[in-house]
Amino acid sequence: RPPAARLPADNPFFAGRAVSLSKLDLLVGQSVWPRAVVVQGMAGVGKTTLALHWAHRVADRFPDGALFADLRGTTRSPVTPAEAMGQVLRAAGVPGDQLPRTEDELAAQCRSLLGGRRMLLILDNAVQPEQVRPLLAAVASGLVVVTSRRRLPALLEGADVRTLELREMATQEAVDLIAGVLGPGDARVRDEEKAIVQLARECGHLPLALGVMAGRLAENPGESIAGTVRELAARDAPGGAPHGTPAPGLSAVVDPTFDVAYRSLRRDQREAFRRLGLVAGPDFTPAALAALQDRTVDEARECLEGLRQAYLVQDVGPDRYRMHDLLREFARERGLGEDSDGELQAAQRRLLAGYLAE
């Protein structure tokens, strides 16, 4: 029997999205559920956060469990359908050495284990319908929630699949997110209402950027919100950023946001952030960062806590962390710009040696 829940943690500062949550609630309020819902939208708009928050909120509607798999569609190596099914089976408690070898056998085991159960399955970062289809067939009596940056029209053909388009936050939602991170006791929430609205605009009303900037302000209670807005505006202006920054390839919105947050870190935390750009997998442990930095696990854990408080990584389980791929790309570009090839290669060798020693 699958476990009651194998989900990453909910975001304690989740805010807004009342309309989207209501639409998801309606799906499981019907006598006949759809087979799946695809939550789609641009990077950083909060698709995974919404899906997980809703999953935790309605967990009692799925007595046979809730499972999560990252299909890694935002990376250079998205998982194959067979790897996706293997992820789900392992999350459901099947030991890795007992997984079937062929795709057909994996699909049959998924149907046997998951079919007929009232389950919720979250498939994060899908990029191709083929990654999802075998699992749609397996979870016949439950619900599959797919998140994707792409529209997946082929997935909608011949299947009862709904879509939910997620866009940037409304102004009040963005303000509520910032205020929630700062906390009700922070006088800036009361005294700088106009500046909070301006900060939300500078962040493009994107939850990822909003969380990063609110986290920086929470860590620096003496810093004014208006001052942060001026700094962001200066970074965004032509000629306003020093040579080599912001990192290429990122949007005009998140670039200055990430750069300001990065520069506010301690030196060892900045190094930790850059090293995490070398991690290829979806999540990592303090031991992995310790290898990358050539530090102790306790030192790495302390750095990760600082990055977590700055909203640059999130904890997804005991001693397990994840970094949004936009932040990972920014970290990788920072590493290429600030660290020597020798330093980066040595860090990668230590990380590989640590993985092989496990």
CATH code, 285: 1.10.10
pLDDT at position 253, please? 64
Dihedral of CA atoms 103, 108, 113, 114 in degrees, nearest 10, equals 80
Whether the Cβ atoms of residue 33 and residue 143 lie closer than 8 Å to each other: yes
Same domain, 234 and 102: no
Residue 38 — φ and ψ, nearest 5°?
-105, 115
Same domain, 183 and 274: no
Same domain, 157 and 63: yes
**Of 20, 52, 44, residue with least CA distance to 164:** 20
Number of domains into which the chain is organized: 3
Inside any domain, residue 247? no
CA dist 66 and 258 (Å) reads: 33
CA dist 212 and 218 (Å) reads: 10
pLDDT at position 125, please? 92
Inside any domain, residue 344? yes
Domain range for 130 is 18-165
All residue ranges of the chain with pLDDT < 50 are 1-2, 4, 238-250
Structure tokens at 256: 């200055």
Same domain, 176 and 218: yes
pLDDT at position 251, please? 52
pLDDT at position 152, please? 83
Same domain, 63 and 152: yes
Strands 143-148 and 120-124: parallel
DSSP notation for 165-177:
E--PPPHHHHHHH
CA dist 60 and 104 (Å) reads: 32
pLDDT at position 325, please? 82
Inside any domain, residue 274? yes
DSSP notation for 175-211:
HHHHHHHH-TT-HHHHHTHHHHHHHHHHTTT-HHHHH
pLDDT at position 291, please? 96
| The overall pTM is greater than 0.85 | no
pLDDT at position 197, please? 97
